[in-house]
């Protein structure tokens, strides 16, 4: 029952564990395991040959000006309910850190699934990393529009907007999976525009007339950008997440010396 890299034969057990922990359906799981899963990038603990704890790593980069640090985003960290209390998650996180450090990774990133888990991760060497602002809005009539775009276009626009600040760059495969997640609800990745102002948003539909904007990058008044994003999916109301200092969001464990970074931003969390 030592931590190990996953094997292709683990997939069915990993899918069952994922569904138990997060409640996601087959369409989302099909997207993850066809687009992002690689056995060498998944960490497991098995009991009697069956995976009972898991974590996946997705490569990302912490960017600050001309500098960059290889990072791994730890995703879908979970332990089977029947196997909890045995320290599996702690051992799995330690093992992932050792393996990824050997591969040249400088930082581990994650977003706790609920606020109560922040203390759990702090006790295992993680610290608060990025913050976000959250707000709610009733969409207002705005001059401008929104165009649905694919992951490569979103990446180009996102990198251009975030240039000059400290942020986590998310590669196309992960962005494509994020697009799949929101598309299952009727949302998508969008280019926003009004006059000469251009931004982007990752938008999901949540019930009749409601939207969740998981990322809003808009250089102008954020209420304007949020209204454009909400209207793109026919929503009158939206809950919005955008860069800001309002509340803690992601956490980090540096595998080497921690650099001094000012107001880092991680927005794409695959939620």
**Which residues have CB under 8 Å from 235's CB, separation 6+?**
139, 205, 209, 210, 211
pLDDT of residue 23: 95
Pick the closest to residue 190 from 217, 169, 161, 221 (CA basis).
217
pLDDT at 143 over 90: no
Identify the band that residue 5 occupies on the pLDDT scale cut at 50, 70 and 90.
very high
**Which residues have CB under 8 Å from 207's CB, separation 6+?**
none
The beta-strand segments (E) located in 102-148 are: 107-110, 127-128, 131-138, 145-148
pLDDT of residue 142: 77
CA dihedral sign of residues 151, 155, 161, 165 = positive
Q: What is the pLDDT of residues 46-100, one digit of tens each?
A: 999 999 999 999 999 999 998 999 999 999 999 999 999 999 999 999 999 999 9
pLDDT at 1 over 90: no
pLDDT of residue 141: 85
What pTM value is reported for the model?
Answer: 0.95
Identify the band that residue 224 occupies on the pLDDT scale cut at 50, 70 and 90.
very high
Instruction: Share the mean pLDDT of the chain.
Output: 96
pLDDT at 261 over 90: yes
């Amino acid at each position: 029952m030592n931590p190990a890299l996953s094997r292709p034969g683990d997939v069915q057990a990993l899918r069952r564990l994922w569904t138990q922990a997060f409640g996601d359906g087959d369409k989302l799981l099909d997207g993850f395991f066809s687009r992002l899963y690689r056995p060498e990038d998944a960490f497991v603990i098995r009991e009697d040959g069956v995976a009972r704890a898991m974590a996946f790593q997705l490569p990302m980069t912490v960017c600050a000006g001309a500098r960059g640090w290889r990072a791994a985003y730890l995703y879908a960290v979970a332990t089977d309910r029947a196997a909890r209390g045995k320290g599996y998650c702690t051992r799995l996180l330690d093992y992932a850190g050792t393996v990824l450090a050997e591969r040249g990774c400088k930082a581990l990133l994650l977003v706790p699934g609920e606020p109560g888990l922040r203390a759990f991760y702090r006790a295992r060497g993680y610290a608060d990393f990025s913050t976000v602002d959250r707000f709610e809005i009733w969409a207002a009539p705005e001059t401008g529009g929104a165009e649905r775009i694919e992951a490569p276009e979103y990446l180009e626009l996102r990198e251009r907007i975030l240039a000059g600040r400290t942020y986590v760059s998310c590669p196309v495969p992960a962005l494509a999976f994020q697009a799949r997640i929101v598309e299952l609800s009727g949302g998508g990745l969008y280019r926003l525009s009004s006059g000469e102002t251009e931004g982007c948003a990752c938008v999901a539909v949540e019930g009749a007339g409601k939207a969740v904007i998981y990322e809003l990058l808009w250089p102008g008044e954020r209420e304007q950008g949020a209204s454009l994003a909400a209207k793109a999916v026919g929503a009158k109301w939206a809950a919005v997440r955008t860069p800001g200092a309002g509340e803690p969001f992601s956490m980090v464990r540096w595998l080497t010396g921690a650099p001094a970074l000012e107001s880092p931003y991680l927005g794409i969390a695959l939620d």
